[in-house]
Amino acid sequence: MAYILIIISAMLVNNIVLAQFLGICPFLGVSSKVKTAVGMGSAVLFVMTLATIVTWLVQTYILNPLGIQFMQTVAFILIIAALVQMVEIILKKISPSLYQALGIFLPLITTNCAILGVAILVGNGTYNSMGLDATSLLPAIVFAIGTALGFMLALVIFAGIREHLAKLPIPEGMKGVPAALVVAGILALAFMGFSGLV
């Protein structure tokens, strides 16, 4: 039950894009079509889960025992950059079709602050774990999956709206990003309705 609550909390109540403001760049950049939004969302789901597992292992078995928690930022960003590169190479070899679908999004993910943000939250054990031990691995993985699903959900809804937005007459100064930000604001208002859920 607690695991379901973690997913609902990470996906809807504390949506990473609309409530935590992480991963705004890909949110605004690659969300003009529903198809690319799904692709980006799946790439984030894949890398976020993997990155959370690896950074958790590094935090628990290297940084904490040695007492060098201050190296967290440097270590995590390097791990994520290396991981993304590795995933790219492996996918290219073993599953060309999946690489075709996710490939172009992978390089963008290194600088996606949502990935590093989740890794740091998990590393410090400061995410909402619904009463479970925040420093153990399984709740962390569930939290990462929930967060990534929330990212994908926001991205897909947003892309759906933007496909229609392109056909509307919008004043010159508001064209493009400002109009998209207003839409995101209205979406954020809608997501605030979930706030009493968990």
User: At 20, is the secondary structure helix, strand, or coil?
Assistant: coil
Check binding of 121 to other proteins (CB under 8 A). yes
Q: Which of 8, 28, 104, 134 contacts other proteins by CB under 8 A?
A: 28
DSSP, residue by residue, 78-115: HHHHHHHHHHHHHHHHH-HHHHHHHGGGHHHHTT-HHH
Q: Which of 11, 12, 13, 18 contacts other proteins by CB under 8 A?
A: 18
Check binding of 20 to other proteins (CB under 8 A). yes
Check binding of 73 to other proteins (CB under 8 A). yes
CA angle 17, 160, 165 (to 5 degrees): 100
Distance of alpha carbon 74 from alpha carbon 132, whole angstroms? 28
Check binding of 170 to other proteins (CB under 8 A). no
Distance of alpha carbon 97 from alpha carbon 26, whole angstroms? 22
Which residue, 3, 35, 43, is CA-closest to 140? Answer: 3
Length of the chain: 198
Check binding of 197 to other proteins (CB under 8 A). no
Check binding of 150 to other proteins (CB under 8 A). no
Stretch that binds other proteins, among 1-9, 32-40, 54-62, 107-115 (CB under 8 A): 107-115
Check binding of 62 to other proteins (CB under 8 A). no
Check binding of 131 to other proteins (CB under 8 A). no
Q: Residues interacting with other proteins, by CB under 8 A?
A: 18-25, 28, 70-74, 77-78, 81, 111-113, 116-117, 120-121, 173-174, 177-179, 181-182, 184-186, 188-189, 191-192
